[in-house]
Every structure is written in C-alpha cells, then in structure tokens.
C-alpha cells in the first residue's frame, strides 16, 4: 500500500517538543511560485495558513527554531507571556508532520489544529489554560484587541 504525497502523520506534542516550546511570532505563511510570493492556502481545507515560529529548548546546536503551520479562518493570537519575561509557552494539539525531501535531505513540516497557553489556568496551578484563555483557535488579533 502506498502512502500518498502530503500525508500528515500524527505526532504527539510531547514527542516533538519534550521540553515544551515558546512562541516567537505568528504571521501569514507565504508560498513562492516562480519567485512570486502569495499568501499560502491549505490544500486540504482551503483555509489560510499561518506560520507560528517557535523556539525549542530541547533542540541541540544553534538552530532551535521551528515553524508550526496552522490552517485557520483567523490569525492565531500567541499565548500570554510568563510575567516579567518575553517567553510565551505554548502547547499545540492534533499535531502532524508531513515529510519531504529537499537537496537530498529528508525534512518535515509540522502542522497543528490548535494552540493553547502552557501556563496554568487561573485558580488551578496544575491545569493548562483552556481554549478560551490564551488559545488561538478562532481568536483573531482584532478580537483580542
């Protein structure tokens, strides 16, 4: 049985980011056809694609950056920062990886359905915050303002 190109393999968040991750930025993803940039659109859903740039504290070497793509109707809003720091810890749900080959190397693109704050929810120090507090699933920058 062949696996179709572009297949999204499910991967647990804790396997991808064993020490968690921190959101650096969120912006509209771009595709480049013949050197001309255009806004990326997810071929599976038809929704706009957003690139969430994160840093991975478990990564070795100089390259600790990773992009997690999200196909959403509205631009995701990064979670709140840890008070007194620029760090915005996040948890991604329903993660998947799409492998590809470039310049003879196998790499992958990470995708996620939702982004939540990894900070404890108010009043419950053991729980991660809910999709209403610090999530980006359906919250746009305009809604957050």
Q: Are 22 and 87 in contact (CB under 8 A)?
A: yes
Tell me the mean pLDDT in the region 84-110: 94
Name the pairing type of β-strands 105-111 and 65-71: parallel
Q: What pLDDT, on a 0 to 100 scale, did the predictor assign at position 63?
A: 80
23 contacts: CB under 8 Å, gap ≥ 6: 52, 53, 54, 78, 79, 88, 89, 90, 115
User: pLDDT at position 139, please?
Assistant: 40
Q: Per-residue b/e over 118-131, b at no fewer than 16 CB within 10 Å?
A: bbebeeeeeebbee
Residue 130: pLDDT over 70: no
87-113: average pLDDT: 94
The reported pLDDT for the residue numbered 121 is: 75
Rounded CA-CA distance 107/94 in Å is 19
Dihedral sign, CA of 66, 93, 13, 20? Answer: positive
Average pLDDT over residues 121-145: 44
What's the whole-number average pLDDT of the chain?
A: 85
On the question of pLDDT at 23 being above 60, the answer is yes
% of residues, the chain, pLDDT over 90: 64
What tokens appear for 51 in the block? 């690139």
Q: Rounded CA gap, 47 and 73, in Å?
A: 6
For 60-80, letters b (16+ CB in 10 Å) and e give eeeeeebebbbbbebbbbbbe
**Residue 140: pLDDT above 60?**
no
pLDDT digits (tens, 9 = 90+) for 32-76: 888 899 999 999 999 999 999 999 999 888 788 999 999 999 999
């Amino acid at each position: 049985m062949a696996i179709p190109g572009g297949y999204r393999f499910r991967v647990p968040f804790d396997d991808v980011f064993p020490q968690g991750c921190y959101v650096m930025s969120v912006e509209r993803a771009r595709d480049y056809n013949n050197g001309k940039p255009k806004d990326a659109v997810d071929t599976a859903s038809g929704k706009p694609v957003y690139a969430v740039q994160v840093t991975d504290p478990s990564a070795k070497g100089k390259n600790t950056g990773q992009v997690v793509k999200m196909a959403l109707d509205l631009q995701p809003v990064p979670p709140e920062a840890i008070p007194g720091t620029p760090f915005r810890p996040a948890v991604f749900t329903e993660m998947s990886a799409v492998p590809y080959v470039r310049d003879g190397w196998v790499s992958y693109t990470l995708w996620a359905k939702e982004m939540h704050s990894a900070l404890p929810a108010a009043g419950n120090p053991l729980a991660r915050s809910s999709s209403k507090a610090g999530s980006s699933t359906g919250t746009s920058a305009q809604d957050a303002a």
